C-alpha cells in the first residue's frame, strides 16, 4: 500500500468513527428528552468516557471527540512507520520529530 492511501484511510476511519459516534450520541440525547449536558474536565473525562459503554449520551460524544483528536496524531505515527519500512531515513527523522513534539504538547499541555 502506498503512503497516500495509508494516510487517507487512517484519516477517513478516524473522522467517520467520530461523526458516527457523534450522531449516535445526539440520538441518545434526543431519546432521553434533550436533558442538559455539562462539560467535564481533567480526570473526570476518563469516567465519562467509560460511561459510553452504558449508553450515556455525553460519554458517547466524548468518545467521538477523543477519537477525532487522536486521528491526526495516529496519521503522523503511521507515516513514520511507513518511512521506516521504506528505509527513507530523512523522512523517518522528520515524522518522528513532529510526533515527539506532538506527544510533548499532549503530555505537557503546552499547545496553545
Interface with other proteins (CB under 8 A): 3-5, 7-9, 11-12, 14-15, 18-19, 22-23, 25-26, 29-30, 34, 36-42, 45, 57-58, 61-62, 64-66, 68-73, 75-76, 79, 90-91, 94-95, 97-98, 101-102, 104-106, 109-112
Q: How far is the CB of 92 from other proteins (least distance, A)?
A: 11
What's the closest the beta carbon of residue 41 comes to other proteins, in angstroms?
3
Cell output for 72: 491526526
Smallest distance from the beta carbon of 38 to other proteins, in angstroms?
6
Burial class (CB in 10 A: 0-12, 13-18, 19+), 95: buried
Query: Kind and range of the H or E element at 51?
Result: none
> In whole angstroms, how close is the CB of 21 to other proteins at the nearest point?
9
Torsion of the alpha carbons at 61, 62, 67 and 72, rounded to the nearest 10: 110
Closest CA to 56 of 40, 41, 69: 40
Indicate the residue among 53 and 106 with the shorter CB distance to other proteins. Answer: 106
Amino acid at each position: 500500500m502506498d503512503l497516500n492511501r495509508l494516510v487517507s484511510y487512517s484519516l477517513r476511519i478516524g473522522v467517520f468513527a467520530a461523526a458516527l459516534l457523534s450522531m449516535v450520541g445526539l440520538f441518545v440525547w434526543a431519546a432521553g428528552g434533550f436533558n442538559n449536558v455539562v462539560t467535564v474536565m481533567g480526570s473526570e473525562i476518563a469516567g465519562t468516557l467509560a460511561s459510553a459503554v452504558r449508553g450515556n449520551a455525553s460519554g458517547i460524544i466524548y468518545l467521538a471527540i477523543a477519537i477525532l483528536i487522536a486521528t491526526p496524531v495516529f496519521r503522523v505515527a503511521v507515516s513514520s512507520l511507513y518511512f521506516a519500512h521504506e528505509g527513507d531515513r530523512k523522512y523517518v527523522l522528520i515524522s518522528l520529530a513532529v510526533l515527539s513534539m506532538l506527544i510533548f504538547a499532549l503530555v505537557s499541555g503546552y499547545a496553545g
